Amino acid sequence: MKEIGFIGLGIMGKPMAKNLLNAGYDLVVYDINRNPVEELVSAGAQRGLSSKDVAARSEMIITMLPNSPHVREVILGPEGVIEGVKPGTILVDMSSIAPLVSQEVSAKLSEKQVVMFDAPVSGGEPKAIDGTLAIMVGGPQASFDQVKDILQVMGASVTLVGEVGSGNITKLANQIIVALNIAAMSEAMVLATKADVDPEKVFQAIRGGLAGSTVLDAKVPLALKGNFKPGFRIELHIKDLNNALETAHSIGVPVPLTAQVMEIMQVLKVDGKGGDDHGGLIQFYEKQAKIEIRK
């Protein structure tokens, strides 16, 4: 690929774009916020004037946007990608959105002879920065090899899981597991603290056993310090769980535990903590038990 367009330079998109630049790819970048665009231009990217302009100048386009309406607007709306894109272009939407929207957008792009992949990611800002995201890809096998090497610059694992939409189904499954892991971790650490057992020692004792997990290793140390600076915000996890609930209900799958954690996150959002990292879910349990695990 000679020219890659990158649209969406937020917490995740900016470091992902930087990794592509550092790997030697030529980028045309665009975001409605000027600061990250200026930062990327200073690092060697070209400035895009609109999503349409980026599309017209690119052989491959990557979008990294907050939610389904933003993806629709950027790709299908006025001055959107679809107005500037050339036949034969590949678009990789790395946003976490509703699977049905991925399929809808893909169908519209196919009318322009554009191939689309949905490729949401897991790992949060730290793994976006160091290029070790898990990338779950939905799209045609025939075109996968054209994008795999590029995606591997941003991710430690890049897995094609099926056709368009299956990437976001996989991400919803991922987000359910992460949310329930954080809730279980929170319950356990608050229980230990309330019972006068050092939560840090509990963490060290269990992390090598069956209860050990990436979530446990990533979130307990931060919770012990009261560090809820967002790597992945509660309000964004609410968005993902809302997509999970809607998708599950539409195909007749009950997800009662997901619904419970969703309501806990909603309580925290109402309490002004929606911008906290999702590891801040523990604050709900601390408030209920009237104790904090932090030293």
Active site residues: 171
CA-based nearest residue to 257, from 184, 188, 208, 153:
184
178 burial via Cβ count (<10 Å: 0-12, 13-18, 19+): buried
For 78, other C-beta atoms within 10 Å of its C-beta total 9
Q: Which two tokens stand for residue 2?
A: 């000679």
Question: Which of 153-160's residues contact partners 24+ apart within 8 Å by CB, and which partners?
Answer: 153/19, 153/20, 153/23, 153/25, 154/16, 154/19, 154/20, 154/121, 154/128, 155/121, 155/123, 155/131, 156/127, 156/131, 156/132, 159/134, 159/135
